[in-house]
Each structure stands twice: as C-alpha cells, then as structure tokens.
Amino acid sequence: MKNVFNAVSLRHLKLKNSLVRSATWEALADRDGNIGEQTYRIYRELADGGVGLIITGFTSVDADDVYFEGMMRLASDAIVPQYHRLTDDIHARGGKILTQLALGGYYLREDGQLIVRQIDDMAEEDIRRVVELFRQASLRAESAGFDGVQIHVAHFFFLSRFVSPLFNHCSDAYGGSTEKRARIVVDIIKAVREAAPNLHISLKINGSDFAQGGNTPKDAVALSLLYAAAGADSIEISGNGTSVGGIRAHVNEAYFLPIAEAVACATDIPIILVGALRSLDMMNAILNKTNVQLLSLSRPLVREPNLPNLWKQDAAYIPRCISCNGCYRSVGHRCVFERN
C-alpha cells in the first residue's frame, strides 16, 4: 500500500514524501525581486513543517515584467545570492525546492516606455527572446542551488494564454493547432534541459481553461504528451478558477482529480494533483487507486505550515483551513486567523 509519507524518486529529484507545497504567491518581493526576512521565514516554516517538496511563488524571468507587484525574480545574476540563501535554508532542513519560473506578460521597451505585446502581434524574434529569458533564469536557478524549476503554463499567465486558442490566433509556426501553440513551451523545456541538464523540470498547466473556446481536458492530455516528449519530468494539473471556497474534508475534495487522472493515464511521467486536498485518507486513496504520484497543497499550508508533521502524529487530523480565501487579501498572503 502506498502512503504519502513514503519516499519518492523522480528524475533528478528524490523526496522524503509525496507532499508538495504548491507555488503560492506571497507578494513580498520588491520591484527587482529582492526578498527579505519575512520570505525566508515563510519558507523555513514550510521546510520545518515536513513537506517533501516546496515550489516557490511566482518568480518572473523578466526584469521588465510588471504584470503585478511583489513578484520574486530570477532576471539578474546579482540577485542569485539571495535565492541561494533560500535554498540553503531548505536543504539544511532536509527539504527540496523548485523555483516557479513564470512570465506574467511580454513587455517591450519602446521610446523609454514599457508596452505589452499581444500574442497575435509577436514575431518569431519575440518568441525566441521569451525562450532565452527562461533559459537564462534556469541557469540562475541552478547557480542558486534550486533542485529544479517549474515552468508556469497555467492560470492565464503569459504561457497559458499562448497555448490557449482563446488568445493565440496566429497562423504561423506558433499557432493554428495544439502542437503549434505548444511549441513555445516545448522550446523552453528543451532550452532549459540543454542549459541545466541536472535540474528537475516540472510544469504547471491548466487541466482545462474552463472557458468556452479554450483548452479542454482532452487538450490538456495532448499538451502533456508534447511536454513529456520534450523532456519534462513532472506535470502539476491545475486550472482556471482555482481556490474554490467552502472545501470540506471528505465532502468536496480534489476537484481536479478527474483531469489529473486522465493525464496520468496517458503519460509516463509523474503527475502532481493540486486543488482542495484536505484529508490524509483521501490522499492515500488517490495514490493507491489512481496513477497520480504527488499531492500538492497551498491554502492548508498557509494556515498550518506544519501540517505534514501533524498528519504524521495523527492520521485523522483535519486541517484548520476553511477555504475562505482571506489569505489572498492579507499582507504576505498569510492566514487571517493566525497571528504571524
């Protein structure tokens, strides 16, 4: 029988258990991506709490990405030592950590002004620049001691929009079919693998766009096959409309499970399930009854970063998170019911 506390061996990554801290945006970095003591403390608490793998919050690959404030960044060599301190903290506590490499929007400087370039207006030169941004960020991630990277292709951020027919209406080599829309992500995977061959490469994707005319679960399977063939080591299945409220243990858990299971059955790389996981027995059942191999948590770990240790002490323990989503409106995205 599989158990979430069994060790897991993935390509380029060995974990002490199947529990993953899903990337959670803290909005604490400054304009250049510098991080401070509050960020270090959040990650130390997670590592001390017993989770097997931590994925950092949204980390932009571009210094000119101004999609929203507070983003971590790996867009400059000068910032690498700060992030090396972060990985040292995690490794000293027996954990593993990936950085979530992402792009909110594609921006260009023209006449001293930043302008956003829409996908349909991008030339192949623009696309090559995006690929290069991810390649350079992966080299910085390696220098900073990260165990791998997660390429963010979900939640309608730039890459998620690029692979969706809702936003990509191109008729060139990067549009017009699922395979062509996915080409930019395939190119990024290959570039990262060539630049940093020892990093674990994960992706976070939309299992569905949940929008008429967008990608469907069937498309998610097709995209996952392309990403796996390009060299991805794992895929986390999410989707638009995340963080559903009112989640209760044994009542409405694991809302992305059907899509994740479909992808897991179609591919031969590890699939990570995120979304409304609240009970240990439910998670153990998923590991034993499906092909999903890893289980990813966000909101419960915001309120109780020591939740894995609590489950080790009491398998029947129910997390205190009530899925109110108040954490998203707090400084540092911390639980509004806890004093931090």
Residue ranges of domains in the chain, CATH in brackets: 8-333 (3.20.20.70)
Q: What angle do CA 177, 200, 6 make, to 5 degrees?
A: 115
Distance of CA 125 to the CA centre of its chain: 27
H or E stretch at 43: helix 37-48
58-95 confidence digits (pLDDT tens): 999 999 999 999 999 999 999 999 999 999 999 999 99
Distant-in-sequence, close-in-space partners of 168: CB < 8 Å, separation ≥ 6: 119, 120, 161, 162, 174, 175, 181
From the number of C-beta atoms within 10 Å of its C-beta (0-12, 13-18, 19+), residue 316 rates as exposed
Q: For tokens 């932009």, what's the residue?
A: 60
Rg of the chain in Å (alpha carbons): 19
pLDDT at residue number 98: 98
The model carries a pTM of 0.97
212-251 confidence digits (pLDDT tens): 999 999 999 999 999 999 999 999 999 987 788 888 989 9
pLDDT at residue number 319: 95
Q: For tokens 């690498």, what's the residue?
A: 80
> Which residues of the chain are modeled with pLDDT < 50?
none
Phi-psi region at 210: left, alpha or beta (left = phi > 0; alpha = psi -120 to 50): left
pLDDT at residue number 176: 95
**How many helices (DSSP H) and strands (DSSP E) are in the chain?**
11, 13
State how far the Cα of 121 lies from the Cα of 167, in Å rounded to an integer.
11
pLDDT at residue number 339: 59
DSSP codes, 80-119: HHHHHHHHHHHHHTT-EEEEEEE-S--EEEETTEEEEPPG
What single DSSP character describes residue 339? -
